[in-house]
Amino acid sequence: MSKKFLHPITAPESIKQGALHLGTPIEACEVLELLQPGSFAKLENQPSDLPPFQVINCKGGRCWVRQQSWGKHVHWEVEHNRLKSA
């Protein structure tokens, strides 16, 4: 039989002092508002005389929106963080 030698594991000084940091620090994340398909949203700097856009779909930080007067097959791709619900 082979002999296995176990070495005691000692904790680093940072753990002993109560300053445990796991992994890299998490950067502040921007929380995006949930925009459901069919809801209406406005751009961050949208003129007041322009009606809200209808949300078609949002995925991967991008949203597809349209104006009702544009017809069903014309849409515009916008960054999600530029929109807020109307």
pLDDT digits 0-9 by tens, 28-83: 666 677 899 999 999 988 999 999 999 999 998 899 999 988 888 899 999 999 99
Between CA 56 and CA 68 the distance in angstroms is 11
Query: How many whole angstroms from its chain centre is CA 82?
Result: 12
Taking a C-beta distance cutoff of 8 angstroms, is the pair 13, 51 a contact?
no
Q: What's this model's pTM, rounded to 2 decimal places?
A: 0.62
